[in-house]
Chains A and B, each alone.
Chain A
Amino acid sequence: MIRHRTLLRCLCLTLLLALGGCQMKDIDKRYFVVSAGFDYSDNPAAPYRVTLRLALPSSKVEEGGAMSVVQTADAASIAEAVRHLKSTVDKELEFGHCREFILGRKLIEKDGIDNSLQWLSRRRDIQSVSNVMVGDPDAYSVVNLKPKSERYPGNSLFLSFGNEGTEAANTVTTYLFDLYRRVYETGLDPVLPVANVFRDAYKIDRAAVLDKDKTRLFLDPDETLLFNMTAFGVDNTILVLPDKPLNIVLAATHTTSKINLKGGEDPVAVVNVSIEGFLEQSPPHLLEKDWGGLERKMGKHFSEEAERMLYKIRDAGVDPYGFGLHYLADHHNAKGRWEKWKRLYPEIRFEVRANVSIQGSGLIR
């Protein structure tokens, strides 16, 4: 009797073992996608070119030891292209660790970002905190680059954003959820960093401002820096005051910015920026002579530059700062307000109030 029961138990256990494992997919049976690029191929039948960079596992982690392969496929949609790619590799594609999505410049100009965004936001395994950027001239070249210094495949590009690795002041960080929000929001427009390849490294120092679908304006590195400071209050930037024989450079350690709308029918957008920092480069004893005056001069210079950039953005008809949203929030989202704002915006005036405070001359000896 007892033996029968033991036998039965063994049988059940074996069955259980057979049942399990059908869901299992070991880590070494998966390819990790580390960055993905979407391009526009000039073929109307298969307009989307998807480029994926797949990490190859290696047991040793060392400088320049990152191994990866790059795969490309063209198809009528992104989803189909990814499906095609799946059949060309021998393992399951895993997007869970992919945090870089590069949209080719031509794709955005021709097709807009909507289709790519739809695919990105529907995949459950794609993180909402993925970085989205524009690849210039195309996404393929950015994905294809393998920097020599990389320890993990894809790490180098990933570390360029936010304050993960470097804290580059003119890199705009746009996460997927932020892009999605900006695409749908009334009175707030998306902005994307622009990445290109420069001598075996990534150069991400420009920004593209989009209307809801296509690029309207590219900001150059200096403007990107100003935009970063005024829109996001990014810390660790620099502020340059042209001077002879040497420019005066303030290393800003702390920046805050605040938007304010004034005036009803003839609104003025006031951007309050306060910058704290210390001098990194200046003629000797300049600060001691006229501390307050230098602060004011730097502030004035900053305001002028920033206002010029703001007008440029305004004239392109886009609103990455969210002035419109701010206006609506101030006016209870009443009916007709949005139409009124659309009338007002092209004529809006900007006023940047920069409050620079120099903490010290930076001299330590």
Chain B
Amino acid sequence: MLEKVKEILGTPSDFTAETMDNGYAKMQICFFPGMCDMDQLKDAIIVPFSYRFDPDEFRRLLHTSIGFMKDVPPEKWVDFLLKGYVIIEYEGEVFLFRAIRRMQTKPDQTQVEASLQGPQSAFTENLDLNLTLVRNLYNIPELAVENFEPQNQSKSKIALLYDRAKRNETTLEEVRKRLRDLDSGLLLSAGQLAKKISQAKYRLFPITQITERPDRLSIHLNKGKLAVLMDGSRFAILLPVHFFDFMYAMDDHYEPSWMSRFLIGLRYVSMMLTLMLPALYISIVSYNPEVFRVQLAFTIDGSRAAVPYPSFIEVLLMLFMIEALIEASLRLPRSVGSTAATVGGLILGQAAQQAGLVSSIMIIVTSVVAISNFVIPNSTFSYFIRILKYAFVIVAVFAGLVGVVVGLFMLVVYLCNMRSFGEPYFALFQSKAGKASDKIQ
């Protein structure tokens, strides 16, 4: 056995392969010490082997304990070894023992989707622990878990979760197919997986949602939808999703209902602002200054008096600055990040305007755009909105206010034309109807 393994693996220095002898029987054992839980190994194999001198007794142990797998074809051995299994050969029989070292034993803290009053536990990078978290919250026998192991270089385990009583069979079949057809290459995170199973590359909106919260996943499952968990990623993928799902924060379920309604309204308003404001600024300033009330027109006129270039250059300049600032403070270490924000804020807030490079109204527009963008609770979605606003800016440059409105129309058409795994993405009042149709089927 050892020769076969060594043939494939070579002899990496973090690999242990030995033949043990307790005086009565011999046992070949090999494993990666770094990937294995040594305590488990000791309790399950080393101690019994060392103190049970009756070979028969040890044989019985190997055969009865559920921890030992027998009859694994030799070509799979290495795969298991690389996952942290231990392989032993005892009396000519090969057993695999699962002694994977668990890095995490307790749930993470939420980081991306913070909640004030909701549960604070988030998914970890360990699939088993994640499944435990889900099972704890969604504790019914209908919860089904299907495992997938894509044949690529990272071979991370993927679990597909759904509620057997409520799921939609066609969607499920479609997702299964896509998970099976994952191509080769490194698969490192849930985001990457989501991108791969969404297939279309140039979509303007995400059709899967990525979350770190088990409670969100449970609610999603309860609606009869699917979730995908991946080993090594602390995010789950929810699908199919609706446009409106992205505007929900989990707190909306836990806060008083008037407050959460107000907040949801606020988010939609913010989304429209961050999407449209730069475009509206361009079209008002350059095409139709008569549309807005007279005081506003005069204020804009006055503040733009010193600006040397047309409005769209001004907008692009400021948007570039704010995007650079956001990107910089995101990637910098936390201690330096605040410095960047301060410097950037100073430049954007005061100096640029006093130097006559941009108008003071534009400063306000820029900050509203930035702040509103942060209000969107889902970060993937807010990225998409961030990039989409440039489309509106371009339309505004060429066609003014009419262009913006027509652009908005096209956006609605686009959204209505989108399907997330066969389900309409942007249909109002659809959830009830969807359930009704499931019952009919």
Contacts and interface: CB of A to CB of B under 8 A. Distances in A.
Contacts of B399: 23
B303 interface: yes
Contact of A32 (B284, B297, B307): B297
Contacts of B291: 96
A25 interface: yes
Given A24-B310, A26-B311, A27-B297, A60 B290 contact: no
Contacts of B302: 57-61
B286 interface: yes
Interface residues of B, number: 29
B341 interface: no
B314 to A, nearest CB: 10
B301 A125 contact: no
B304 to A, nearest CB: 5
Contacts of A57: 298, 301-302, 304-305
B237 to A, nearest CB: 31
Contacts of B306: 59
Given A23-B287, A26-B310, A97-B290, A55 B298 contact: yes
A26 B304 contact: yes
B307 A28 contact: yes
A98 to B, nearest CB: 9
A27 B297 CA distance: 8
Contact of B304 (A20, A24, A28): A28
A59 B305 CA distance: 8
Contacts of A155: 294-295
Interface in B250-291: 284-291
Nearest to B289: A27
Interface residues on A, range: 20 to 34
B406 to A, nearest CB: 15
B398 A27 contact: no
A99 B295 CA distance: 13
Nearest to B295: A152
A360 B311 CA distance: 58
B397 interface: yes
A19 interface: yes
Interface in A44-88: 55, 57-61
Contacts of A307: none
Q: Which of A26, A27, A32 gathers most chain B CB within 10 Å?
A: A27
B290 to A, nearest CB: 2
A155 B312 CA distance: 30
Contacts of A26: 285-286, 304, 310-311
A27 B285 contact: yes
B377 interface: no
Contact of B397 (A20, A58, A94, A125): A20
A326 interface: no
Interface string A17-35: 0011101111110101000
Interface string B291-330: 1001101111111111100111000000000000000000
Given A26-B304, A59-B302, A96-B289, A21 B397 contact: yes
B206 interface: no
Nearest to B304: A28
Q: Is the interface of B mostly helix, strand, loop or mixed?
A: helix
B400 interface: yes
Contacts of A152: 294-295, 298
Contacts of A20: 397-398
A94 B290 CA distance: 8
Contacts of B310: 21, 24, 26
A96 B286 contact: no
A59 B285 CA distance: 15
B15 to A, nearest CB: 43
Contact of A25 (B286, B297, B360, B397): B286
A24 B286 contact: yes
Nearest to A154: B294
Contact of A27 (B300, B312, B360): B300
Nearest to A126: B290
A24 B297 CA distance: 16
B317 to A, nearest CB: 15
Contacts of B295: 152, 155
Given A21-B310, A21-B397, A55-B298, A96 B290 contact: yes
A24 B290 contact: no
Contact of B286 (A16, A27, A55, A59): A27
A360 to B, nearest CB: 38
B287 A24 contact: yes
A97 B397 contact: no
Contacts of B300: 27
Nearest to B309: A26
Contact of A61 (B294, B299, B307, B398): B299
A39 B195 CA distance: 71
Contact of B294 (A21, A25, A97): A97
B298 A32 contact: yes
Nearest to B310: A26
Interface in A168-191: none
Nearest to A17: B397
Given A25-B286, A27-B300, 18 more contacts: A16-B398, A21-B310, A21-B312, A23-B287, A24-B311, A26-B285, A27-B297, A28-B304, A30-B289, A32-B294, A55-B298, A57-B302, A57-B305, A59-B303, A94-B289, A96-B288, A96-B290, A155-B294
Interface of B: 284-291, 294-295, 297-307, 310-312, 360, 397-400
Interface of A: 16, 19-21, 23-28, 30, 32, 55, 57-61, 94, 96-97, 99, 125, 152-155, 158
14 contacts: A23-B287, A26-B285, A26-B310, A27-B289, A28-B305, A30-B289, A32-B297, A55-B301, A57-B305, A59-B303, A59-B360, A96-B289, A152-B294, A154-B294
